[in-house]
Structure 1
Amino acid sequence: MTDQPDRMAPVLDVLRLEHDPATPDVFQGRSLPQPNGRVFGGQVLAQALLAAGATVAEDRLPHSLHGYFLRAGVIEQPITFAVERLRDGRSFTARRTHALQDGVPILSMITSFQERQDGIEYADPIPEGIPGPDELRSAFDILGPIDHPVAKFWTQEAAFDVRHVDGALYLGPARVRSGRQAVWFRALAPLPDDQLLHRALLAYACDQVMLEPVLRRSGASWVSRGLSIASLDHGMWWHRDVRVDDWLLYIQSTPSAQGGRGLGAARVFSQDGTLVASVAQEGMVRVPD
């Protein structure tokens, strides 16, 4: 792995939430800059997950989250994360987290945690015939030569190496319309051995591409004129331990788009073929006729 610790450092910094012991279930966070001036949805998901995790016993890890993006967040304002303790059971723990700005929620999320337990074990296999990440161009290769503020932002500030199997949508639509997409991801620097952090960073990273199958199937791209796109809700299930500083393969699809909304789904595999997570997200996707 190319060691680029400065790329990961800003992300890790905003994920370190401030905490006053006098208010054990309230945390404060900041935001990373973004070209559109709005808080990145993956960032607030990861922060809300870490806030919830800070109120849970260390031997219980998140296995699922369900969140709604309610308002666009303002980058310049701090975010308050208020955690509600819904349940502490013998095996499972549930938390609701509200991410607040100016006293109103920008995200509302419920997360369930579980202690490690034995049980039925099976998983779908990784699809065959997918080129490995070393055979593909990265986003840095594609956007690096382009003299444009957004391209420069993503090549200079991105914390993850992203490699599309069938071509990226950064500069134009796909050659073939398809609702399926495969993408390799990996953090740009080694990370601590902290499973809660890795699961939070997986939530952070996947929000970058969850709606791309909708664009791919509709013949649109990130540079489509008049494109308006925003995450509406997000569901995530962690099946097994994951490391985001190792290569992960996202196998994505979109079953439906209607009413200005599109649904994206993904299965996430480690490079050795282990299914580590499943993800679903609906978003607003509007492209003028």
Structure 2
Amino acid sequence: MTEAERILLELLNLERLEVDLFRGVGSGGETPTRIFGGQVIAQALSAAYRTVESRSCHSLHAYFIRPGDPVKPVIYQVDRARDGGSFTTRRVVAIQHGKQILNMSASFHIQDDGWEHQHPIPDVKGPEAHPLRNTLQQQYLSRVPEKIQSELMRERPIEVREVDHQDLFHPAKTDDRNSIWFRMNAADQAEPVTQHLLLAYASDMSLLGSGLRPHGLSWFTGEVNAASLDHALWFHAPVQFQNWHLYAMDSPWTGQGRSFNRGSIYAQDGTLVASVAQEGLMRRAKPKG
């Protein structure tokens, strides 16, 4: 297990303060300046799971309200909204500095039977055909300030291979469809709950970038102010995140300073394991000076 993988697993292991009150670490995720959205979602889901027995999450819906401060811990307050015969509902509020930074509803379901169908996995080359994220980012080291270089090359817990990489500084206008392969080796032998938490964390990766692609934008061009506004995730099948998964994303609409993005997460054998939807802020950045 790498140090980055160990840190992520520790981030998802919340401290119980009271029956329905938990505390999570803010630092250590994907971004250093504010808490990565996927981290807050995964920790909120972890808090909810700690109040549920013998049921699996099938959906969650979250709103990002304020940026999270990575220097401070996050308090998660769980409301046991409903314990029904087949479904259990939880509401989780994430709090920092006495204010909400996220609120989330999550629903849990018993094992059930029904009719089945799914869309097929997109026809893309497998993960071995694409370079590692760190390999791609090495080409940008000479174009970023020295203080950013170490952050750009910092070891991450989740291995990512981009299917259609765009130059970070000079992205071409292209199709909104955006796919990555990802996995985390340390998920091997992890419990089903931990598998859900890891996928929830990873589901916020690269999704917002789909809306930037048709406009030739990236986080490094200095033209856009972007942030996640909400996030919805549906689990369809058991997750084994130590194996490769394809995250196929698109952005059918941008406008009015917002971007709508969707994602489908497939196991490498073609099983659709989860679906994602997110709206993000996509506002023109104010000129500097």
**TM-score, L = length of structure 1:** 0.92
Please tell me whether the aligned partners of residues 60 and 106 of structure 2 are also in contact (alpha carbons under 8 angstroms): yes
Q: CA deviation at 1:218?
A: 1.6
- Which of residues 142, 159, 171 in structure 1 aligns to 2:136? 142
2:38 counterpart of 1:42:
yes
How big is each residue's C-alpha offset from its partner over 1:22-81, in whole Å with a ceiling of 9 and x where there is no partner?
x21000011124655211111000000010000000x20100000000001111111100
State the AA in 2 paired with 1:28. R
Change (3 A) 1:11 1:169: farther
Which residue of structure 2 aligns with residue 223 of structure 1?
Answer: 220
What SS is found at the alignment partner of 1:277?
Answer: strand
What SS is found at the alignment partner of 1:49?
Answer: helix
Which residue of structure 1 aligns with residue 8 of structure 2?
Answer: 11
How big is each residue's C-alpha offset from its partner over 1:84-119, in whole Å with a ceiling of 9 and x where there is no partner?
001101111000000001221100000000111111
Change (3 A) 1:199 1:70: same
2:52 counterpart of 1:56:
yes
Which residue of structure 1 aligns with residue 275 of structure 2?
Answer: 278
Whole-angstrom CA distance in 1 between matches of 2:190 and 2:11: 18
State the AA in 1 paired with 2:136. I
**TM-score, L = length of structure 2:** 0.92
Please tell me whether the aligned partners of residues 7 and 189 of structure 1 are also in contact (alpha carbons under 8 angstroms): no
State the AA in 1 paired with 2:82. R
Change (3 A) 1:227 1:150: farther
CA root-mean-square deviation = 1.7
Whole-angstrom CA distance in 1 between matches of 2:285 and 2:67: 21
Which residue of structure 2 aligns with residue 239 of structure 1?
Answer: 236
Which residue of structure 1 aligns with residue 68 of structure 2?
Answer: 73
Worse overlay, 175-184 or 200-209? 175-184
* Aligned length, in residue pairs: 281
% identity of equivalent residues:
38
Please tell me whether the aligned partners of residues 224 and 287 of structure 1 are also in contact (alpha carbons under 8 angstroms): no
Runs of at least 5 residues in structure 2 that lack an aligned partner in the other structure: none
State the AA in 1 paired with 2:6. A
State the AA in 1 paired with 2:38. G
What SS is found at the alignment partner of 1:152?
Answer: helix
Whole-angstrom CA distance in 1 between matches of 2:248 and 2:74: 32
Please tell me whether the aligned partners of residues 11 and 32 of structure 1 are also in contact (alpha carbons under 8 angstroms): no
Which residue of structure 1 aligns with residue 19 of structure 2?
Answer: 24
What SS is found at the alignment partner of 1:144?
Answer: helix
Change (3 A) 1:73 1:155: same
State the AA in 2 paired with 1:90. G
What SS is found at the alignment partner of 2:128?
Answer: helix
